[in-house]
Amino acid sequence: MSAKPLKRRMFKKLFQILVLCNGTWASSPRKHHIHRATTTSKHDNYRRGSSVATSTMTMANRVIAGGTSRALAQALLYPVDALRTLAQTRDGRTLADVGMQALLRGCAQTSSFALFTGAIQFGIFGMVNPRCGPLVASACGAAGSCLVSVPQEVIKQRLVTGVYGSFREAASTIWKNEGLLGFYNSWKPTVSRNVPFVVTTFTCRDILRSRLKMLKEQPTELNSKSGSLNSPKVADTSTLENLGTGVASALIAVFVTQPIDVIKTRMMTQAASHAAPYTSALNCAWTVLKTEGWQKLYSGIGQRSVYMCGLWGITFMLEPMVTEYLDSKK
């Protein structure tokens, strides 16, 4: 079994899931409370309402809210991500090997990167979504945020696995020995993981939120005085609903992208292993399949599920709250 067909099947599966979700969303039955000739479809009303709501937010507030919520969520869940990294290493490192301090080593510094990662993701998503939809918007946001998230991942994972003892040592050593490109080690597998993960997460979140709004919408009624149709009242999702949609969306994305995440971690933490280095991402995937079995491509999935579900659940819960707070200060 070669790595190339495996990778092709993973992306094919991702595409089928997204097409199925979007197809179900678009074809969902809607109840018409008035004659079809005089009733605007709920789907159009949602899109119009969403556009109006988005236009009231300034882009600066969206960027600040996205960055703040992402950074806070990542800092809170940093120890869980550290455990996920250890579970995916080539030599199966544990806390006994690196010490308990590895759970928080570099937490403050690397989590600060998330301010920019979240700001870029939500900023690009907010600009592109009204014109191109969540699928394209989330892909653009994920690709753009990799400019910040890849150096963050390189430093964080080498700190966790004990390659370096501090953030300062990691940054200076990488710069001295590998140059700027050293911070973008494993760029390709990271982008290959981030784009489908963020696309799946944001698209599923958008679908789930629209479904919830549809269920909570009050039917269109005829105004007895003017004879015109009243606009349907669209209730926004609650804080707990935002948390739930974030958790559910991230869980789907975790299962879709887990093998790519393992390959990315192996490539970034090679310096911590005494084994012969991988020559490429495909070589890494093939070596894992050949010597360790396909199950190894799902190592650390429990820790990653807890981390990602918590990360995106908290992020999607806090982002509307922070945005609303900032908008109220105008």
CATH of residue 290's domain is 1.50.40.10
Instruction: Evaluate whether residue 305 is within a structural domain.
Output: yes
Identify whether the C-beta of residue 123 lies closer than 8 Å to the C-beta of residue 44: no
pLDDT of residue 330: 63
Beta pairing partners, 229: 222
Which pLDDT tens digit goes with each residue over 125-167?
Answer: 888 988 888 889 889 999 999 999 999 989 998 999 888 889 9
Instruction: Evaluate whether residue 111 is within a structural domain.
Output: yes
Instruction: Evaluate whether residue 225 is within a structural domain.
Output: no
Q: 193 burial class (0-12, 13-18, 19+ CB within 10 angstroms)? A: buried
For residues 272 and 163, what is the distance between their CA atoms, to the nearest angstrom? 6
Identify whether the C-beta of residue 157 lies closer than 8 Å to the C-beta of residue 93: no
Instruction: Evaluate whether residue 78 is within a structural domain.
Output: yes
For residues 289 and 134, what is the distance between their CA atoms, to the nearest angstrom? 34
Label residue 206 left, alpha or beta by phi (over 0 means left) and psi (-120 to 50 means alpha): alpha
For residues 85 and 71, what is the distance between their CA atoms, to the nearest angstrom? 19
Instruction: Evaluate whether residue 141 is within a structural domain.
Output: yes
What the block records as the tokens of 45 is 């009303």
Largest CA distance in the chain: 80
Residues in the chain predicted with pLDDT less than 50, given as ranges, are 1, 3, 6-7, 10-11, 14-15, 17-43, 45-56
Identify whether the C-beta of residue 207 lies closer than 8 Å to the C-beta of residue 223: no
Instruction: Evaluate whether residue 3 is within a structural domain.
Output: no
pLDDT of residue 206: 86
Identify whether the C-beta of residue 269 lies closer than 8 Å to the C-beta of residue 90: yes
Side-chain-side CA neighbours of 114 within 13 Å: the count stands at 24
Which stretches of 27-58 are DSSP H helices? 42-56
Question: Which is nearest to 89 in space by CA: 284, 308, 273?
Answer: 273
Write b or e for each residue in 21-51: b if 16 or more Cβ atoms lie within 10 A of its Cβ, otherwise e: bbeebeeeeeeeeeeeeebeebeebbeebbe
Q: Which residues are CB-neighbours of 12 under 8 A, at least 6 positions away?
A: none
For residues 55 and 20, what is the distance between their CA atoms, to the nearest angstrom? 29
Number of structural domains found in the chain: 1
pLDDT of residue 17: 46
Beta pairing partners, 222: 229
Instruction: Evaluate whether residue 37 is within a structural domain.
Output: no
Q: Which domain holds residue 133?
A: 42-216+231-325
For residues 40 and 102, what is the distance between their CA atoms, to the nearest angstrom? 57
Instruction: Evaluate whether residue 7 is within a structural domain.
Output: no
For residues 100 and 160, what is the distance between their CA atoms, to the nearest angstrom? 10
Angle at 270 between CA 266 and CA 274, to 5 degrees: 125
Backbone dihedral angles phi then psi of residue 224, each to the nearest 5 degrees:
-65, -25
